[in-house]
Structure 1
Amino acid sequence: MEVVTPQLVSTATASPQSVSVFYRITALWALCEALLGGVLHALHLPGTGLFVGGASVLCISLLAHHCPSRKAILKATVLVIVVKGLLSPHSPPGAYLAVFIQGSLGYLLFLGKNYFKLSCLLLGVLTQLQSALQRLVIMLIMFGSDLYRVAHEFINYILKKAGFAEGDYVLYIVIGYIGLHVLMGVFVGWLAGRLPGMLKKQQHKLDLSSFAYSGDEVFAALPRRKKNIWKRFFPFLTISVCFLLGVSVYFDLIVYNTAYKILLRAVIIAALWIWVITPLLRKVLHRWSTTKRSALASELDQVLQVIPYIYRSAKFCWASTAQFSFLKRLLLFPGRLAAIVI
């Protein structure tokens, strides 16, 4: 195990393997947040919390395993937030909050090495619960409790026409949504507890003789998130809610006033969030990250130095799985990349 101490390394002469494992894991976590999270947020794909949160749990567990002090998790959290702001500046403020919560949970849960697997399991479950509840709270704030009643009446209307009994199916859907995240948390926590041993086995299998590092390829090759204003104004959730309200009004399931009330509330809150709250939060985050960037200049240099190495390692890992099917390549790729980087 390595002690987390800043060690100044010249990017021109030293290899990334000479950088502390703390900075290598932190760089891997930052890339997962900035690139994977940025792509999923940009495309408004469901399951962002499942995958990005799962990757965060794995990285935090590796930090807890390799670093003697759990304060390293808090330090890594700050570095990840700053690097995420550099590589993915248009990420929503909620994404930064999620990173902070995940890092704080890791710091609180990893009290000792004797309870490592239990801590991983708790971290996986709590992180996924936080992700699920965060989205439910956002929907409740944006559309209000009336949306629950509309969805309840609409689903029962459809099922009644199909000959099924009425019931509180919306509640079942919400419970199922939370349950899916809990199951994912259990799986990720179980995997995180066994990850260090799995990576050691993977390292013995890999042939790294053909892999050489070159630091010249870096940030130009990293994909950047392009700001798409239409995707910000018309996400899938808003379109779905408008469709639900329109159909409900058409079939006289709700009165016009209720539909107008829900839409007006959503428009006002969305406008405040997009044009008032988000810009203010981004200014605060920018000011905070600028301050931290100056205070943690040497640590940031270590993390940024490893990023091009991870990028080249990713290309090597993907090429090394060329003989497998696409699905199997996706399953093998993360483990091989982590094994090389760490």
Structure 2
Amino acid sequence: MIKSNKSAIDKLTALWALNESGLGGFMHIFNTPFTGLIVGGLSILFISLIAYYADNKAQSIFKALVVVLIIKMAVSPYSPLGAYVAVSFQGALGILLFSNFSWKGLTLVALGVLTFLESALQKLLILTIIYGTELWEAINIYGQWVQKKIDVFIDSSASSLLITIYLSVYGLSGIVAGLFIKSIIKIIAEKEEEDFYLEVKDKKTLQSKSKGTFKAKLIWIWLATVSIIVLSFTFFGDTTFGWQKGVYVLFRSLLIIMFWYVVIGPFLLRMMRRYLEKKESLYKDDVANAMDLLPYFRQIIRHTWKETKHLKGYNRFKYFIANSISNCIHFKA
């Protein structure tokens, strides 16, 4: 394949935007509880491929990042601030690594590990800010209760063990993602360059999830977490005032969530959008081009999934991803 290909970079940018905006691209095919890991892995795959094709890696990744964020802002206006932070971190890390190191081998693994760990640590930080140390105390209480029941005792606290396992899973997933990306790039690089044509029968207007869906999910998660903490302190804790601590967590978390979503979150999002709106005029042609490609790419992805049905398991997943990207890169309208 010819490197330094502007068309390929533009199409990879569109694929990255499709992946980040929740518009039914690759994630329309997969129905899995590991959606976050797959979305994160695909994002760093697109960043790595942009670096593979680009001469000026930092400039190309930065431009792609801005275009992706503008599209995300346009089609997923209710995305939380954390989503923008995660995408920005991926892009910034890609710029840092690919500007200083080769896109091969260890750089891809480092990108995978650091990106996945950032995602995991962001979640842990948010939980701690909202629920305080009481969340981890509640987990420790549950852990002690379970140990007594099964008559097994470990030196480490339940929360420390849980966090270690959680971070280890994300770290190992990052290593796997890095190695997987290397294999995908190799497949794409070895494919013959052929224009890909596909008749698009249905160019539906792109729609993202509604704000109501996100709010409902947030409320259910909050209720479940608070219930677990309250029950822990009330029924399993040794303190006489366990239920009071549970009530404290209830009101504390509610106030923090309200303050975040009413004051801090909207303020930071407004600043982010103001910055992106300034950049929008500079990249309006790139944004329009990417938006035009999204409906085509959704159908190419579905077509490629059917095309790889003769393969099974991991092989199907690998060649589906590689062939989908290759088909999108070589797509001719």
TM tier, smaller = 0.7 to 0.9
User: Partner residue of 2:131?
Assistant: 143
Report if aligned partners of 1:50, 1:128 keep a CA contact under 8 Å in 2.
yes
Structure 1 unaligned spans of 5+: 6-19
User: Partner residue of 2:203?
Assistant: 218
- TM-superposition CA deviations, 1:260-315 (whole Å, max 9, x none): 22222111101111222222233223322222221211221222232222122112
TM-score relative to the length of structure 2: 0.85
* Distance change in 2, residues 1:36/1:119 (3 Å): farther
Q: Report deviation, 1:24.
A: 0.4
- Determine whether 1:90 maps to 2:78: yes
User: Partner residue of 1:234?
Assistant: 219
* Distance change in 2, residues 1:249/1:27 (3 Å): same
User: Which amino acid letter does the alignment assign opposite residue 239 of structure 1?
Assistant: A
- Determine whether 1:74 maps to 2:74: no
User: Which amino acid letter does the alignment assign opposite residue 212 of structure 2?
Assistant: N
User: Partner residue of 2:94?
Assistant: 106
Aligned residues: 319
User: Partner residue of 1:132?
Assistant: 120
* Distance change in 2, residues 1:108/1:82 (3 Å): same
- Once the two structures are superposed, the pairs formed by residues 180-219 of structure 1 within 5 Å of their partners are 180-201=169-190, 203=191, 211-214=197-200, 217-219=202-204
- TM-superposition CA deviations, 1:52-111 (whole Å, max 9, x none): 211111011101101111121111111111111122111111101111111010000013
- Bigger CA drift: 283-292 or 83-92? 283-292
Q: Report deviation, 1:324.
A: 5.6
Report if aligned partners of 1:4, 1:72 keep a CA contact under 8 Å in 2.
no
Report if aligned partners of 1:27, 1:80 keep a CA contact under 8 Å in 2.
yes
- Once the two structures are superposed, the pairs formed by residues 241-256 of structure 1 within 5 Å of their partners are 241-254=226-239, 255-256=242-243
Q: Report deviation, 1:240.
A: 3.2
SS of 1:295's partner is coil
- Once the two structures are superposed, the pairs formed by residues 1-342 of structure 1 within 5 Å of their partners are 1-3=2-4, 20-35=7-22, 47-70=34-57, 71-111=59-99, 114=102, 116-167=104-155, 168-201=157-190, 203=191, 211-214=197-200, 217-220=202-205, 222-228=206-212, 231-236=216-221, 238-254=223-239, 255-323=242-310, 332-342=319-329
SS of 1:234's partner is helix
**Quick one: distance in 2 between partners of 1:151 and 1:277?**
29
TM-score relative to the length of structure 1: 0.83
Report if aligned partners of 1:90, 1:227 keep a CA contact under 8 Å in 2.
yes
- Bigger CA drift: 133-142 or 255-264? 255-264
Structure 2 unaligned spans of 5+: none
